[in-house]
């Protein structure tokens, strides 16, 4: 089930909630930026494909979309990508060279329908200028978020995601503990390389986001967060490299879980 809610007058969130057994829930978000050239940011999870299209049609007619900003090529971001390309021949996909390369291994993107950006580059989409940004934390090398100069929103892709016990529509409704712990768990699970980073270099990356002073942070895996929360979001990331590394359940734990589910 995919729900929608406005994060700003001209930005809609499409969100579903995925359970991670034993750990909680992770929201999976896509976003619609309304304007003279509407942009869809990511296209939902492959497993949710049909529901995603229904939810999308409730906030915009897909024939009106002009752009898809594909933050990266993971399965929770490309669910309806090809259906949208087929339904609307005007859509172009903003991605990276690496994004095109990864997609070519499963469902190639037509080269005349991509628009390649690198971090730091701007693209003008109607009444908006979007600046590509490499987020400080990511799980796929093709990842490119962006800063929307019109709304001041930072679209951070998987960065700032959180594993939560309940998923509100507004990150401000999470307690300090739930937000911090949820973010740290997600960061250590999704980006285990964080434990190997140089602390000074990582702090500089976080400072870059602080200096951006976003009015809002829209992560693929966190409820909408007002800009006033940016320092808290960054503090959770700063704590992640030295947090306990994530270790998934092993076979013995899996068998225990299955026994609990099926009973004696």
Interacting residues with Fe ion (CB under 5 A): 74, 76, 139, 158, 220
Q: Distance between CA 24 and CA 75 in Å, rounded?
A: 20
Q: Shortest approach of Fe ion to residue 186 CB, angstroms?
A: 10
Collapsing DSSP to helix, strand or coil, 187 comes out as: helix
Q: Shortest approach of Fe ion to residue 138 CB, angstroms?
A: 7
Q: Which is nearer to Fe ion, 48 or 76 (CB)?
A: 76
Classify the phi-psi angles of 24: left when phi > 0, otherwise alpha if psi is within -120 to 50, otherwise beta.
left
Q: Shortest approach of Fe ion to residue 97 CB, angstroms?
A: 18
Q: What phi and psi, each to the nearest 5 degrees, are found at residue 86?
A: -75, -40
Q: Which is nearer to Fe ion, 220 or 236 (CB)?
A: 220
Q: Distance between CA 3 and CA 58 in Å, rounded?
A: 10
Position closest to Fe ion via CB: 74
Q: Which is nearer to Fe ion, 12 or 139 (CB)?
A: 139
Q: Which is nearer to Fe ion, 70 or 177 (CB)?
A: 70
Classify the phi-psi angles of 120: left when phi > 0, otherwise alpha if psi is within -120 to 50, otherwise beta.
left
| Residues recorded for the chain | 264
Contact 157, 94 (CB under 8 A): no
Q: Shortest approach of Fe ion to residue 108 CB, angstroms?
A: 20
Q: Shortest approach of Fe ion to residue 76 CB, angstroms?
A: 4
Q: Distance between CA 142 and CA 145 in Å, rounded?
A: 10
Contact 141, 100 (CB under 8 A): no
Q: Which is nearer to Fe ion, 12 or 74 (CB)?
A: 74
Q: Shortest approach of Fe ion to residue 16 CB, angstroms?
A: 12
Tokens (6 digits) for 157: 């892709």
Q: Which is nearer to Fe ion, 27 or 214 (CB)?
A: 27
Q: In what order do the strands lie in the sheet with 39-41?
A: 3-8, 11-20, 24-33, 39-41, 67-69, 92-95, 114-116
Contact 66, 126 (CB under 8 A): yes
Q: Shortest approach of Fe ion to residue 140 CB, angstroms?
A: 5
Q: Which is nearer to Fe ion, 48 or 158 (CB)?
A: 158
């Amino acid at each position: 089930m995919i729900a929608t809610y406005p994060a700003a007058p001209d930005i809609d969130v499409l969100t579903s909630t995925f359970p991670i057994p034993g750990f909680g829930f992770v929201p999976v978000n896509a976003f619609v930026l309304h304007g003279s050239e509407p942009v869809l940011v990511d296209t939902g999870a492959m497993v949710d494909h049909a529901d995603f299209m229904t939810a999308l049609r409730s906030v915009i007619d897909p024939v009106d979309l002009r752009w898809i900003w594909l933050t990266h090529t993971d399965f929770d971001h490309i669910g309806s990508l090809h259906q949208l390309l087929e339904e609307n021949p005007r859509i172009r996909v903003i991605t990276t060279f690496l994004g095109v390369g990864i997609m070519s291994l499963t469902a190639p993107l037509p080269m005349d329908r991509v628009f390649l950006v690198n971090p730091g580059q701007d693209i003008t989409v109607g009444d908006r200028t979007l600046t590509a940004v490499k987020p400080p934390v990511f799980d796929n090398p093709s990842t490119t978020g962006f800063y929307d100069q019109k709304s001041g929103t930072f679209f951070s892709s998987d960065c700032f995601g959180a594993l939560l016990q309940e998923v509100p529509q507004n990150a401000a409704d999470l307690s300090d503990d739930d937000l911090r712990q949820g973010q740290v768990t997600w960061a250590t699970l999704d980006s285990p390389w964080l434990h190997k980073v140089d602390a000074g270099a990582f702090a500089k990356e976080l400072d870059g986001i602080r200096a951006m002073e976003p009015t809002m942070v829209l992560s693929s895996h966190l409820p909408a967060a007002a800009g006033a929360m940016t320092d808290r979001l960054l503090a959770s990331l700063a704590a992640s490299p030295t947090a306990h590394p994530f270790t998934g359940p092993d076979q013995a734990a899996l068998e225990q879980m299955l026994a609990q589910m099926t009973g004696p």
